[in-house]
Amino acid sequence: MAGLYLAVPDALSGAQCDAAIGLADERLAPAPVYGGDGARIEPMMRDAGSALIERAEAEWLFERLDALFARGAEAFALPVGPIAEPIQIVRYATGGHFQMWHSDAGGDRVEQRRISMSVELSALADHAGGALEVVPDLVGRPRTLARGGAHLFPSRALHRVGPVTRGTRWALVAWTG
């Protein structure tokens, strides 16, 4: 653990990463930005494709993520339960980003989202840029987690994803509270 995040290098295997991408690949849609006025598409703030995956579609994946969240709950001393909402599989093509600094908890999901997770589904060699930045510990640092690695952090932490400058970055994003 370093500061306000927990890195788990072996969160998913390569086969599990492929399976997660397979769940989303055919049904990607422009990724929305959420706010007080609901969901909207704002490519200047967030340029990515995403798909929501329900627990019934991938119980094996949710069970693995629940176990990872239990590790995060211990590390952050935050009580959490199983994932209660869909997870997102996100595809950032060249130029893709989530430039807007944001909190996953917002003002309306403080109890619903206590811990956030981002799992790297792409190999480091598959893209350049696209690093997850979490205030204060992961700002301005290049991606170092290999494929299958996860970052967990309190959902109130400000974070963003820098622009992908080459290739494609796939990530899995989930929350629990």
Using alpha carbons only, what angle is made at residue 164 by residues 143 and 149, rounded to the nearest 5 degrees?
A: 30
Q: Domains of the chain: which residue ranges?
A: 6-34+46-176
pLDDT digits (tens, 9 = 90+) for 3-37: 578 999 999 999 999 999 999 988 999 999 987 77
Residue 1 reports pLDDT greater than 50: no
Distance CA 68, CA 64 (A): 6
Angle between helices 59-76 and 14-24 (to 10 degrees): 120
Of 56 and 105, the structure prediction assigns the larger pLDDT to: 56
Instruction: Quote the pTM value.
Output: 0.93
pLDDT digits (tens, 9 = 90+) for 89-132: 999 999 999 999 999 887 666 678 999 999 999 999 999 999 99
Annotate 56-68 with DSSP letters as a single string.
Answer: GG-HHHHHHHHHH
- The CATH architecture one would assign to domain 6-34+46-176 is Sandwich (2.60)
Residue 155 reports pLDDT greater than 80: yes
